């Protein structure tokens, strides 16, 4: 579950990160010239210059470090980003609204018995690796809830990730502070009319792969992929908090609310 509040701290030591795109690199050079730059170990705040892809990479890079992230949009998609302006940055940082989000922790077991772990800010996905549809069995808190799902895959999304892949797959948008996760199928063939489920953020979801040799499946936590999976367990990691900063009136809560009324 996310928590939102107003930031009252002063951010003097700023680390600027760029996506590497020319527009982002140019912006970083101008901002470093105006505000200076520090090493990651010394930063009070990280300013990420790019799009949502860079924001996800930055959140993963600083996971567990307790450093807030403030994004400035210099990319094509900027749902998580603030509007780019070169001036007044320190004042914007001081007035920014803070949202704490928590990632999912995924543990995946492969066909050869190895266990792989990763964290996801947006979603954990199971996806078919071949032309054959995946066959999956879904457990919630140790109880079988769906004995067989035949589909392209299934994903478990956080509120922060509910407007990303989850929304494209037909899943619900979750308010950022809702104590929920969205479990959403992708191109479900059987049961054809199953549209997914809303789960408590305290639930543990276990997904078993049926016929893994005939119907191989990969598991993906944001950008980290493991192939030939037989079982995945995923749950919200409440012990790890990630802090995002947004300008007043453009908080994560407000952005997700606006997204639900887009037409």
Give the active site residue among 52, 141, 228, 237: 52
Map residue 79 onto helix, strand or coil.
Answer: coil
- Pairwise CA distance, residues 53 & 99, whole Å: 18
What is d(CA 211, CA 150) in angstroms, rounded to the nearest whole number?
A: 11
Binding-site residues for NAD(+), in ranges, read 52-53, 122-123, 152, 160, 163-168
* 72, 239 Cβ separation under 8 angstroms: no
CA atoms within 13 A on the CB side of 101: 31
The tokens for 204 are 């543990």
CA 202 – CA 237 distance, rounded (Å): 9
Three-class DSSP category at 57: helix
Instruction: Report the number of secondary-structure helices (H) and strands (E) in the chain.
Output: 5, 18
- Cα–Cα distances in Å, from 206 out to 31, 48, 112, 214? 45, 34, 19, 21
Assess whether 52 carries a catalytic annotation: yes
Residues whose CB falls within 8 Å of the CB of residue 193, separated by 6 or more in sequence, listed in order: none
Contact 201, 234 (CB under 8 A): no
Residues whose CB falls within 8 Å of the CB of residue 151, separated by 6 or more in sequence, listed in order: 133, 134, 136, 185, 186, 187, 188, 189, 190
For the annotated catalytic residues, the residue numbers are 52
């Amino acid at each position: 579950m996310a928590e939102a509040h107003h930031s009252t701290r002063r951010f003097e030591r700023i680390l600027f990160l760029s996506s590497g795109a020319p527009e982002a690199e140019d912006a970083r050079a101008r901002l470093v010239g105006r505000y200076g730059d520090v090493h990651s170990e010394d930063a009070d705040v990280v300013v990420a210059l790019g799009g949502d892809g860079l924001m996800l990479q930055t959140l993963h890079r600083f996971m567990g470090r307790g450093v807030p992230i403030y994004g400035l949009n210099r990319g094509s998609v900027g749902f998580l980003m603030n509007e780019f302006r070169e001036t007044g940055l320190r004042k914007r940082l001081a007035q920014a609204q803070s949202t704490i989000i928590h990632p999912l922790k995924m543990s995946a077991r492969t066909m050869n018995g190895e266990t792989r772990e990763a964290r996801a800010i947006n979603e954990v996905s199971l996806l078919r690796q071949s032309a054959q549809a995946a066959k999956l069995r879904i457990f919630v808190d140790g109880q079988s809830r769906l004995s067989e799902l035949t589909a392209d895959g299934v994903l478990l999304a956080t509120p922060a990730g509910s407007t990303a892949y989850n929304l494209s797959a037909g899943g619900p948008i979750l308010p950022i502070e809702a104590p929920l996760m969205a479990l959403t199928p992708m191109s479900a063939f059987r049961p054809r009319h199953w549209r997914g489920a809303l789960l408590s953020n305290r639930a543990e979801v276990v997904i078993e792969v049926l016929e893994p040799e005939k119907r191989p499946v990969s598991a993906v936590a944001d950008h980290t992929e493991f192939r030939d999976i037989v079982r995945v367990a995923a749950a919200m990691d409440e012990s790890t908090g990630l802090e995002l900063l947004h300008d007043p009136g453009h908080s994560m809560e407000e952005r997700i609310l606006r997204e639900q009324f887009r037409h």
